[in-house]
A = this chain, B = another copy of it.
């Protein structure tokens, strides 16, 4: 019997996945949470063999939860289960100690298969996505450049970004300029999109 922990913020998705996985004879869903920051606790009390973590979650995202889990409950394998097959997600998932990565539009057998293979000690990753990840390369952005770009997502104007990060406007413009150059784009907008497609955030 393989003991499973589910973490996904959508109630319906969580319940539906639970129903799906319960159809398999050798699976048992022992815990289901809707927040990333509840994952570690739930794992401690229920001792699952495999944790299926969504990435987009309130509290703590799935990648951070995976890292925490790897540290606190190293016997529990982590499989990331996400809507988006973004290159950067995969890299960060692996760095966080995940051993499996499944996208939500994979065929349903793929998930069960991934879980069983992970239990045998294998790593499970979509080969195409792995290739894309290698192609994207590691982020060439400095920490500060990431901060500024991140702030640019919510703020409309340079002045707001500067205020939020306690920087001068000129500095912010410089960082943005650097980011635009490094992403090979021509805009904040494009840079933002390019950066988070490649997982450079």
List residues of chain A with CB under 8 Å of any chain B CB.
Answer: 9-13, 15-17, 19-20, 22-23, 81, 83, 102, 104-108, 111, 156-157, 185-190
| A108 adjacent to B16 (CB under 8 Å) | yes
In angstroms, how far is the closest chain B Cβ from the Cβ of A4?
Answer: 13
| 25 A-B interface contacts by CB (under 8 A) | A9-B105, A10-B104, A11-B104, A11-B105, A11-B107, A12-B17, A12-B20, A12-B81, A12-B102, A12-B105, A12-B106, A12-B111, A13-B104, A13-B105, A15-B20, A15-B107, A15-B108, A19-B19, A19-B23, A156-B185, A156-B186, A156-B187, A157-B186, A157-B187, A189-B189
**Nearest opposing residue in chain B for A160, CB measure:** B186
Q: Assess A10 versus B83: contact at CB under 8 Å? Given A16-B20, A19-B16, A20-B20.
A: yes
| B13 adjacent to A13 (CB under 8 Å) | yes
Number of copies: 2
CA distance A115 to B189 in the complex (A): 41
Q: Closest 9 CB pairs between A and B?
A: A16-B16, A15-B108, A19-B20, A19-B19, A16-B20, A10-B105, A156-B187, A10-B104, A12-B104
| B11 adjacent to A13 (CB under 8 Å) | no
In angstroms, how far is the closest chain B Cβ from the Cβ of A75?
Answer: 26
Which B residues are in CB contact (< 8 Å) with A186?
A: 156-157
CA distance A190 to B156 in the complex (A): 7
In angstroms, how far is the closest chain B Cβ from the Cβ of A103?
Answer: 8
| A108 adjacent to B156 (CB under 8 Å) | no
